[in-house]
Amino acid sequence: MTGKELRIVGRRVRKVDGIELVTGQAKFTADMKLPGMLYGFARRAGQPAGKLEGVKKDEALKIPGVVDVLTAEDLPGPNLIGVLPPFDQPVLATGDIRYAGESVAFVVAETREAAKRGAAALDVRITEVPPILTVDEALGDGARKIHENGNITFSRKLIKGDADKALAEAPVVVENTYETSFQDHAYLEPETDLAVPGGDGRITVYASCQSPFHLRGLIAANLSVPAGRVKVVQSNTGGSFGGKDDVAVEIGILAAAAALRTGRPVLVAHERGESMVGSNLRHASRITITTGATKEGKIVARKIKIILDGGAYASESPFVVMKALIHAAGPYLIPHVFVESTAVYTNKTYAGAFRGFGVPQVTFASESQMDELAAKLGMNPLTLRKINALRPGDATATGQVFKQSVGLLQAIEILEKERLPEKPEDPSDRYLYGTGHSCMLQGISNGAEGVDVVGATVQVSQDGSALVGLGLTELGQGSRTVYAQIAAEELGIPLETVTVRQVDTDSVHDSGPTVASRSTTVGGMAVLKAAREVKESLLDMAALMLQTDKKEIYFQDGFAILSKNPDARIPLREVATAAYWTGHPLMHLAFSKAPEAKYDHDTHQGSIYIAYNFGAHRMSIRIDRWTGEVRVLEHLAAHDVGKVINPVGLEGQVEGGSLIGYGYAHMEKIEESRGIIRNANFADYAVPSIKDRIPTRTLVVEEANPTGPYGAKGVGEPPVAATAACFANAVSDALGVRFTRLPVTRQDILRALQSGAATHGGDKNG
Amino acid sequence: MKISFRCNGKPMQLEISPETRALDVLRDTLGLTGVKEGCGKGECGACTVLVDGLPVSSCLLPAAKLEGTEVLTIEGLRKPDGSLHPLQQAFLDEGAVQCGFCTPGMIMSAKALLDETPRPQVEDIEEALSGNICRCTGYGKIVQAVMRAAEKSEEGRHDG
Ligand code: FES
Ligand code: FES
């Protein structure tokens, strides 16, 4: 750092790539139209389980406009994709059909309509097999094996102390089981990839995707070509939230294989229904928790069993299992913890990464139980949380100790200072009021999920402007703006002169996946380092020009300035030009490597993440006892983010994440019967509209994180979990009845009111 | 069949097949790819354009219905001097854009509102934008942006 106060980092700035978006100039993948371009459309199994006996192509090939049909045999490579080896998911089904959305054949045609007609005309023969649709069936004795190794995808344990013994001795014990449903990402742009065969034996894939290098690796493997033959370019991506990974790979391979066979560009653009049926969801879950505490409210032990319904394929299940495992005990100091976390295969659409990544499920369960414990102890729910909150120097559930950047207590105290909203006069006694709290933590970085390295380049041109390149993607979350701010800050140049390039796998270093709230933290650190290295080089040059020691110079507003005499200044463009002519390097590649996770694989004790984001939320609601309608009166979202880089971006992340959490907790439900999703459209799957928005207020705690740029920690994921959990607690507070299943819909609330289960409401007691 | 209409101020004459959607004509034939397709069923608002000043889901509109109309898309919103329309500026300033896929449709719906109701209440904005889904922002900043644009346009009018 310059040693001076920050000038650009921490300021409210506009999105650096925003103009193209508000003017409609930004190109998303489906906005590209190339000469000779073909359209691809997959035929899906349409039934959840079975044996694929064969696909006859003839009828499809007769449809005017249909150019080619691909089945599994036509793919040049292993026909296998996944996240963690051994991979288990075919691109096109071979023998077993494992979910209804499974692609069995891929039709390419001159128009989208012809491709669709071709897909419908295919003669696909599948022998039905009784589907396994619940985790209980899947785990039952003698259950049919969905995959060769059985129906358990992945299972891990976390063991700290002796939870059984501590629970047996605990004066107060609560136990309950909680469930959550699947959730669809519902990004507004459906998944889209465009493969373009090059004249040089290479192939370029433009993709709406989250992790271009993951795409490149799997596309190359499945084409049986070296990775360098494939170039993946991330187009503008219309939202991802974790979702555009597996499916971007799947359609990328299909498009690329067809492009190579036909020698023509092939576009695959999912329809909304396909986006819901044929790409991953948030895991449904069942979580049983037992908590033991002293009479004073000190938690002594938690025992937790998590079962995640992962659907037909592993996808990110192993990592979601781990994340749920590590976060389930909550942001509390608990001496004895036992957690078992298991993902299970079923014949349903597969589950994978979705903003929060296992944490929303366990936070809902854990925080519901905190309220139940508070009720049993006769204690204020926030006080109970405060007593147990992790403080600097405390050991987390994995035994990891953070000496700093543990701002949970401060977040709770912010909430305590905020007065509750006033209840308006209600002579008709029509409304019930309630307030709910939640506390949570979310690990930053890949942590136990793998090594975490980002390589970033910063290049200064002779005009003094800078170009930043790294392999982490802009998905709407504002990471380009954050990187631009960091580069501008370090180089002392105006923000407008920094460009953060589009990611393509030819031109940037593999930076791993854009996940785990790691963009700001690990990515930002790499940009910072690269910028500093370039700056050193420019300082050397400026020192020669100003004939002084480089310690005497600082950069600001595009000038190299002499500290002693700020009137002595040279425009940086002159310094950069001189540096160019004298061979002072103007570009650097720098790496930021998060400290490696070190832990015991049997007990998950050890250091897992480089930092945690801590959050405390409060939500006050009003329920209409006649209609069951919920109105959120206030939603406070306090997070320890280490250091705010761009307040506008931060608020955007917190507000947007919160509404996804609210939709998850109150509105969104995948309706499935006999293994088929019945509401795969926006009319029947209720994504929150502008009328459903909630008045989220972002409150910030800045406990500097030594592993992030300027002390920053990511914030992309945490609000989802915290909002869902405090919503459930607010409803319980209003109605006097606990719901143990998400979502808690308006119908659920109305039913509770009408049946008399709601002790605070109901028809009679007024 | 032949159709003629005005699009972003320019006269158009096109040969189309009768089953084509207005969305496809705008995107594929005229290259106006700021018009987005999010669902193809009239459920998301990403494809919203103004036809004779009214917001329409172009994915549901047969192209033949464009005959004789005046169409405005996001591409036609910038002022002749290239500067941003107050709504575009406000969406940028307020942070109402994240991934930006909903943005063109959202801005067009908001434009229809402000043309009709220059000083809208929050409820008017909710009503006007209720058919436009945004999965990224949580909508709060979108409401602020429309409010801000309304104020700005109002000031503009008073300034003369
Ligand atoms: S694409 Fe027209 S409303 Fe969704
Ligand atoms: S900004 Fe992404 S959908 Fe609205």
Residue minimizing CA distance to atom 4 of ligand 2? B134
Atom of ligand 1 nearest to the CA of B37: 1
Compute the count of residue pairs across chains A and B with CB atoms less than 8 Å apart.
Answer: 166
pLDDT at A523: 86
Quote the pLDDT of residue A516. 61
Chain B residue whose CA is closest to A698: B140
Contact B75 A24 (CB under 8 A): yes
Rounded average pLDDT over A405-422: 95
Residue among B24, B44, B106, B129 whose CB has most ligand 1 atoms within 8 A, to mutate: B44
Q: What is the 3-state secondary structure (H, E, C) of B5-21?
A: EEECCEEEEEECCCCCE
Q: Residue A162: is its pLDDT beyond 70?
A: yes
The alpha carbon of A640 and the centre of ligand 2 are apart by a number of angstroms equal to: 25
Q: What is the pLDDT of residue A765?
A: 37
Residues with CB under 6 A from ligand 2: A 188, 239, 476; B 97-102, 134-137
pLDDT(A480) > 70: yes
Task: Write the residue with the smallest CA distance to atom 2 of ligand 2.
Answer: B99
CA distance A180 to A202: 45
CA distance B134 to chain A (A): 7
Task: Determine the distance separating the centroid of ligand 1 and the alpha carbon of B2, expressed in angstroms.
Answer: 25
Best CA proximity match to A502, nearest among A264, A207, A229, A223:
A207
Residues on chain B touching A687 (C-beta within 8 angstroms): 133, 135
Query: Using CB atoms, which residue from A31, A649, A651 is nearest to B33?
Result: A31
**For A270-277, what is the mean pLDDT?**
96
A206 DSSP β-pair partners: A194, A233
Are A499 and A467 spatial neighbours (Cβ–Cβ below 8 Å)?
yes
Tell me the ligand closest to B104's alpha carbon. Answer: 2
Region A146-155: what's the mean pLDDT? 96
Higher-scoring residue by pLDDT: A598, A348: A348
Rounding to the nearest 10 degrees, give the CA dihedral for residues B149, B154, B156, B159.
-150
Digit-coded pLDDT (tens) for A662-680: 999 999 999 999 999 999 9
A184 close contact with B: CB closer than 8 A: no
pLDDT band, very low/low/confident/very high, at A596 (cuts 50, 70, 90) = confident
A210-261 residue pLDDT tens: 999 999 999 999 999 999 999 999 999 999 998 998 899 999 999 999 999 9
Q: How far apart are CA A554 and CA A696, in angstroms?
A: 40
Out of 3.40.930.10, 3.30.70.20, 3.10.20.740, 3.90.1170.50, which CATH number does the structure's domain A32-129+191-269 have? 3.90.1170.50
Of A184-188, A445-449, B38-42, where does mean pLDDT reach its minimum? A445-449
pLDDT digits (tens, 9 = 90+) for A499-530: 999 899 988 777 666 666 677 788 889 999 99
Tokens in use for B56?
Answer: 């329409």
Q: Least CB-CB distance to B43: which of A26, A681, A693? A: A681
Cβ-contact A269, A113 below 8 angstroms: no
The ligand minimizing its distance to the Cα of B61 is: 1
User: Given this model, what pLDDT does residue A518 score?
Assistant: 73
The yes-or-no verdict on residue A304 having pLDDT over 70 is yes
Which of the four pLDDT bands, split at 50, 70 and 90, describes residue B80? confident
Q: Same CATH topology for A18-25+453-593 and A32-129+191-269?
A: no
pLDDT the model gives residue A451: 65
Band the pLDDT of A2: cuts 50, 70, 90. Answer: very low
pLDDT band of residue A758 (cuts 50, 70, 90) is confident
pLDDT at A764: 39
Tell me the per-residue pLDDT of B134-151, one tens digit each, with 9 for 90 and over: 999 999 999 999 999 999
**Using the beta-carbon criterion (under 8 Å), do A15 and B130 form an inter-chain contact?**
no
Which residue in A11, A13, A20, A21 has the most chain B C-beta atoms within 10 A of its own C-beta, making it the best mutation to test that interface? A21
Residue ranges per structural domain of chain A:
18-25+453-593, 32-129+191-269, 284-447+600-765
Distance from CA of B126 to the nearest CA of A (A): 6
Q: Is A681 in Cβ contact with B98 (below 8 Å)?
A: no
- What is the structure's pLDDT at A515? 60
Cβ A652–B98 below 8 Å, yes or no? yes
Determine the Cα–Cα distance for residues B88 and B103; give it in Å rounded to an integer: 9
**pTM for this model (two decimals):** 0.96
- Mean pLDDT computed over A572-599: 91
CA distances from A31 to A19, A189, A235, B32 (A): 17, 11, 10, 9
Residue-wise pLDDT for A721-736, tens only, equals 999 999 999 999 999 9
The pLDDT of A146-165, averaged and rounded, is 97
Q: Are A69 and A118 in contact (CB under 8 A)?
A: yes
Following CA atoms A252, A257, A263, A267 in sequence, which dihedral angle do they give, to the nearest 10 degrees?
Answer: -30
pLDDT at site A514: 64
Using an 8 Å CB-CB cutoff, list chain B residues near A688: 139
Probe target for ligand 1 pocket from B21, B24, B43, with the most ligand atoms within 8 Å of CB: B43
Residue of chain B whose alpha carbon sits nearest to that of A112? B24
Ligand number nearest to the C-alpha of A272: 1
Q: Let me know if domain A18-25+453-593 sits in CATH 3.30.365.10.
A: yes
Ligand at shortest distance from the CA of A688: 2
Mean pLDDT of A73-96: 94
The pLDDT value recorded for residue A587 is 94
Q: Looking at the partner chain, which of B77, B91, B138 has a beta carbon nearest the beta carbon of A696?
A: B138
Supply A622's token pair: 């009003």
Query: How far apart, in whole angstroms, are the C-alpha atoms of residue B159 and residue A205?
Result: 51
Nearest CA to CA, how far is A99 from chain B (Å)?
A: 23
Q: Write out the two tokens for A605.
A: 């004790």
Percent of chain A residues topping a pLDDT of 90: 86
pLDDT at A212: 92
Please give the structure tokens belonging to residue B133: 């889904």
CB B155 within 8 A of CB B93: no
Residues in chain B closer than 8 A to A514 (CB atoms): none
CB-nearest to A682 from B39, B93, B100 is B39
Rounded to a whole number of angstroms, the distance from the CA of A477 to the nearest CA of chain B is 6
CB contact under 8 A, B133 and A187: no
Pick the more confident residue, A765 or A3.
A3
More confident residue, A575 or A471: A575
What's the A271 CA to ligand 1 centre distance in angstroms? 11
Quote the pLDDT of residue A1: 37
Q: Measuring CA to CA, which residue among A37, A45, A104 is closest to residue A69?
A: A104
Which segments of A549-690 are extended strands (E)?
553-556, 559-562, 569-571, 587-593, 598-599, 606-607, 611-624, 630-640, 672-673, 676-677
Nearest residue on chain A to B123, alpha-carbon basis: A691
What distance in Å separates residue B122's CA from the closest CA in chain A?
10
In sequence order, the 6+-apart residues with CB closer than 8 A to the CB of A687 are: A186, A663, A667, A668, B133, B135
Nearest CA to ligand 2 atom 3: B134
The percent of residues above 70 in pLDDT, for chain A, comes to 97
Q: What is the average per-residue pLDDT within A591-611?
A: 88
Ligand 1 midpoint to CA B60 (Å): 8
Domain A284-447+600-765 has CATH 3.50.50.60: no
Q: With an 8 Å Cβ cutoff, is A697 touching chain B?
A: no
Write down the H helix ranges in A304-403.
317-327, 359-377, 381-388
Write out residues with Cβ below 6 Å of ligand 1: B 37-40, 42-47, 57, 59
When pLDDT is averaged across residues A267-292 and rounded to a whole number, the result is 97
Task: Report the residue of A690, A694, A696, A698 to disrupt the B interface, i.e. the one with the largest count of B CBs within 10 Å.
Answer: A690
Distance of CA A174 to the CA centre of its chain: 31
Mutate to test the interface with B, among A23, A234, A276, A660 (most CBs of B within 10 A): A23
- Mean pLDDT computed over every residue of chain A: 94
| Optimal mutation site among A11, A22, A244, interface B, most CBs of chain B within 10 A | A22
**pLDDT for A308 beyond 60:** yes
Contacts of A696 in chain B (CB under 8 A): 138, 140
Q: CA A239: distance to chain centroid?
A: 10
User: Which atom of ligand 1 is least distant from the CA of B57?
Assistant: 2
pLDDT in tens, A15-55: 999 999 999 999 999 999 999 999 999 999 999 999 999 99
CA neighbor of A668 nearest in space, from A241, A117, A222, A224: A241
